[in-house]
C-alpha cells in the first residue's frame, strides 16, 4: 500500500479558480463518484475575504451550471459544503484507479495538494497517468510505502479493501457499518476498532509519526 502526496493543477476547476481570485482555503474531506459521470464532495471552506454562500456557489456553477451545493456555517467565515456535480472528471479518475482520496488541500496559487492512499504502485501510476491525460499537471511530491511497524495487518488490509469495494467510504455510504460487519462475519464493535486502527496507521505513516 502506498501513501502519496500529489500537487495538481486542474484546468477549469472551481477550487483552483476560487483560491486564485480570493483569500480562501479549502479542504476536500471526501470525494466520491455518483450517478455515472457525476461526483459528490464534502468540502471545508474558510474565506478570509468573507465570501457569502452565493458567491462561493457562483464559482462552483461556473464549472458545472447544473451542480448542487448546500452549506452549513461553522463560524463567521467558515463553511462545510456538500457539492454535487453532474460531471466530475477527477471523481471518475479516482474511482477508476481504485485509489482513495484521504484529503485535498488548496493552495493560494490555485494548485491542489492531494493526499492519496493507493493499494499498489501500479494503481498510483494509473491515477497520475489518467490525470495527465485529462489535461492536469501532476507533480508527485512524496510516496511512502507502509512497512514494518507501520504495515497494516492482514485483517486490516482485508477490512479496508472490502469496505472500499462495497462503498463504505463513498458519499453517501453505500454500505453501513452494521451491514459491513455481517459481510465480514465480525461484530460491529470489532469492525469499528479494526477500521479506526487501520486508518490511524495510514494517517500516522503519512505525517511521519508511525
- Model confidence at 11: pLDDT above 80: yes
Using a 10 angstrom Cβ sphere, with 0-12 exposed, 13-18 middle and 19 or more buried, the burial of residue 164 is middle
Quote the cell numbers at residue 45.
471552506
Neighbours of 106 (CB within 10 A): 22
Q: Looking at the structure, do residues 186 and 199 belong to the same domain, yes or no? A: yes
Mean pLDDT of all residues in the chain?
Answer: 87
Residues in the chain: 210
Find the CATH number of the domain harbouring 172. 1.10.10
CB distance 18 to 56 below 8 Å: yes
**Residue finishing a domain among 96, 111, 144:** 144
Provide the residue range defining the domain that includes 111: 2-144
Structurally, the chain folds into a number of domains equal to 2
Mean pLDDT of 34-62: 90
Listed in sequence order, the residues at least 6 apart from 162 whose beta carbon sits closer than 8 Å to its beta carbon are 180, 183, 184
Q: Looking at the structure, do residues 82 and 162 belong to the same domain, yes or no? A: no
Question: Which tens digits make up the pLDDT trace of 68-127?
Answer: 999 998 888 899 999 999 888 888 888 888 888 888 999 888 899 999 988 888 999 999
Least confident of 48-57, 122-131, 161-170: 161-170
Amino acid at each position: 500500500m502506498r501513501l502519496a502526496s500529489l500537487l495538481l493543477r486542474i484546468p477549469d476547476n472551481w477550487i483552483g479558480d476560487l483560491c486564485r481570485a480570493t483569500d480562501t482555503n479549502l479542504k476536500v474531506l471526501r470525494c466520491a463518484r455518483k450517478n455515472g459521470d457525476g461526483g459528490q464532495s464534502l468540502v471545508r471552506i474558510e474565506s478570509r475575504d468573507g465570501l457569502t454562500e452565493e458567491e462561493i456557489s457562483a464559482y462552483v456553477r461556473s464549472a458545472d451550471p447544473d451542480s448542487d451545493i448546500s452549506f452549513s456555517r461553522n463560524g463567521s467565515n467558515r463553511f462545510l459544503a456538500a457539492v454535487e456535480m453532474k460531471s466530475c472528471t477527477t471523481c471518475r479518475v479516482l474511482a477508476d484507479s481504485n485509489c482513495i482520496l484521504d484529503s485535498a488541500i488548496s493552495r493560494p496559487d490555485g494548485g491542489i495538494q492531494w493526499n492519496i492512499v493507493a493499494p499498489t504502485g501500479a494503481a498510483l501510476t494509473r491515477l497520475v497517468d489518467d490525470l495527465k491525460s485529462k489535461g492536469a499537471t501532476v507533480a508527485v511530491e512524496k510516496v511512502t510505502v507502509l512497512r514494518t511497524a507501520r504495515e497494516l495487518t492482514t485483517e486490516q488490509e482485508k477490512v479496508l479493501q472490502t469496505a472500499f469495494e462495497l462503498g463504505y467510504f463513498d458519499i453517501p455510504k453505500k454500505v453501513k457499518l452494521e451491514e459491513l460487519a455481517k459481510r465480514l462475519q465480525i461484530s460491529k464493535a470489532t469492525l469499528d476498532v479494526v477500521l479506526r486502527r487501520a486508518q490511524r496507521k495510514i494517517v500516522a505513516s503519512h505525517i511521519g509519526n508511525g
